[in-house]
Amino acid sequence: MEIWDLLDSEGNKTGKTMEKGINIPEGYYHLGVDVWIINSENKILIQKRSSQKKLSPNVWAMTGGSVIKGETSIQTIEREALEELGVKLNIENLKLVNHYKTGNVWLDVYLLKQDINIDDVIMQKEEVSEVKWATYEEIEQIYQNGDFIEDRWEYIRDIILNNL
């Protein structure tokens, strides 16, 4: 069972924790992390969430997840990429580009320039059903069609465009 630190409305740890799967108490938040991986062709790695996912099944997203008690957001990125994609990330190239609150989550958002061979990806079937490299324009179209996870692309699209 995952244990999450509870944060206050400013994103500070409160000293309280909760188990994943329980409703977050009103007025509290937990920390999540997203990593947008961009290859040398300026394509962005996206993954389709499994139909088994409780939240936002069958939509496209970036790699990310919830920070477990005792982890840093960078450690979470490493863990999630290994668990969901079987990929080791080159974290020394990570760049924190945004930190914002959406719903009951504070998000640390990173960019990472790294080439990953899709043939080497080993998808965790409970989490991911498909992985692909997509252009900025392709992701914009997926988003406009309502097939991208909510509260993510709209907060990063300009930052990504400026980093391509």
- Are the C-beta atoms of residues 93 and 116 closer than 8 Å to each other? no
Quick one: what percent of the chain has pLDDT higher than 90? 85
Instruction: Check residue 142 and give its pLDDT.
Output: 97
Interatomic CA distance for residues 125 and 7, integer angstroms: 30
Task: Map out the domains of the chain with their CATH numbers.
Answer: 30-98+109-163 (3.90.79.10)
Instruction: Check residue 11 and give its pLDDT.
Output: 93
What is the residue-averaged pLDDT of the chain? 94
Instruction: Check residue 151 and give its pLDDT.
Output: 86
Question: Taking residues 58-87, what's their average pLDDT?
Answer: 95
Interatomic CA distance for residues 74 and 156, integer angstroms: 18
Tokens representing 140 are 């914009």
* 94: pLDDT strictly greater than 90: yes
Spatial CB neighbours of 93, under 8 Å, sequence gap ≥ 6? 112, 113, 114
How do residues 30-57 score in pLDDT, each as one tens digit?
999 999 999 999 999 999 999 888 888 8
Question: Taking residues 69-76, what's their average pLDDT?
Answer: 95
* 1: pLDDT strictly greater than 90: no
